[in-house]
Amino acid sequence: MKAVHTELHRSHDPQFFLVRGVVKRTTEQPERADRLLKGLKDGKHQLVEPTTFGQGPRARIHSPEYLSFLSEAWDAWTALGDSGPEMIGNIHPVRHAATYPTHIVGKLGWHTADTAAPIGPGTWAAACAATDVAVTAAQMVMDGEDATYALCRPPGHHAYRDMAGGFCFLNNSAIAAAHLRLKHERVVILDVDVHHGNGTQGIFYARPDVYTVSIHADPVAYYPYVWGYAHERGEGPGLGTNLNIPLAIGTGDDGYIQAMDVARKAIESFAPGALVIALGLDASEHDPLKGLAVTTPGFRRIGQAIARMGLPTVFVQEGGYLSDILGANLTSVLAGFEEAR
């Protein structure tokens, strides 16, 4: 399996992370990509540089005002003269009967769901590069590759049409799915990150052509807390094309594979032409965010379960944070996929 990657992700190096009132260094660091690259090397995957696709694929998913905000935010922030080293909102307005702000501080709050997506001088460039990585991987599958892997950083599945959050700015998995829709009538996004793919769900919630499935730690006691429950099934034309499978905190391999079987049956009923895997590796028993307890052999079983769906597949990297086992878990899931294909 070929893997798409660019070193441009390094321009995004966030520092701020607020955890239960305590400021810590974020777990979404450039070193994540280094450990994932080692996993690709150990799996003998060929690395491919991305093609630059420009704004078009991003504009299929994100609103014009949001893309303008992200592209101009850092210059407007530094022009204040007394701003901090990263952009972190201090207002997050409930949008009922609200007016879109013109001041950069107001825009920052409007376009961020939480404090976990600090914007720095290189964030926009890195986020754009990540979308090129995802779209390149999708295009390779459209051109005949059976499966590809996109090493996207920053990740994307918490980003809504016009809001950043949870380390995410542009929704790479959604953008890959929208690109695949140029060829396929129906596409599925299966999110195996430990966190619910709330941004992805929000983007496609009323659409019948993209089926969003998320297996994740139960949000009753885990981020994002207010999205990701089993009763959230879509709305309007999209009713029935959103499936959430929340798992009890600490669920291990067998429970996870049972959830994968539920997901597989639902996906087969939808009869898609292609599959996007929002590949979080943070369901690991060793991940610092401690939600689920999947082992390295368990990730191999997840890869095998994905392969048995028999669809053209784009793996898009989402979460998976600093642990000694991160690269091995990537090697394991891709090896499981390849051996069961």
Which pLDDT belongs to residue 94? 83
Q: Please state, as a whole number, how many other Cβ atoms lie within 10 Å of the Cβ of residue 214.
A: 27
Per the structure block, which two tokens stand in for 118? 């600090």
Give pLDDT tens digits along the chain (341 positions): 999 999 999 999 999 999 999 999 999 999 999 999 999 999 999 999 999 999 999 999 999 999 999 999 999 999 999 999 999 999 988 888 889 999 999 999 999 999 999 999 999 999 999 999 999 999 999 999 999 999 999 999 999 999 999 999 999 999 999 999 999 999 999 999 999 999 999 999 999 999 999 999 999 999 999 999 999 999 999 999 999 999 999 999 999 999 999 999 999 999 999 999 999 999 999 999 899 999 999 999 999 999 999 999 999 999 999 899 999 999 999 999 999 99
Q: For this structure, is 158 an active site residue?
A: yes
Position 97 scores a pLDDT of: 81
pLDDT of res. 274: 98
Over the range 187-212, which residues count as b (16 or more CB within 10 Å of their CB) and which as e?
Answer: bbbbbbbbbbbbbbbbbbbebebbbb
Cβ neighbours of 122 (radius 10 Å): 16
Q: How far apart are CA 15 and CA 13, in angstroms?
A: 7
Give the side-chain half-sphere CA count within 13 A for 225.
6
- Provide the β-strand partners of residue 47: 3
Give the alpha-carbon dihedral of 221, 227, 230, 234, to 10 degrees: 180
Q: CA-to-CA distance for 280 and 330, rounded, in angstroms?
A: 9
| Residue-range domains of the chain with CATH | 2-340 (3.40.800.20)
Residue pair 160/185 in contact by the 8 Å Cβ criterion = no
Report the distance separating Cα 5 and Cα 134, nearest Å.
9
Spatial distance between the Cα atoms of 133 and 242, rounded to a whole number of angstroms = 26
DSSP 13-57: ---EEEETTEEEE-S--THHHHHHHHHHHHTTPPEEPPP---SHH
Q: Which residue among 5, 9, 45, 158 is the active-site one?
A: 158
Backbone angles phi, psi at 87, to 5 degrees: -90, 115
Angle, helix 296-307 to helix 253-270, in steps of 10 degrees: 20
Give residue 76's pLDDT: 98
56 closest CA partner among 182, 211, 183: 182
Cα–Cα distances (Å) from 242 to 34, 210, 235, in that order, read 33, 9, 9
Query: What pTM, to 2 d.p., does this model score?
Result: 0.98
Dist. CA 239–CA 60, nearest whole Å: 21
Secondary element (H or E) of residue 220: none
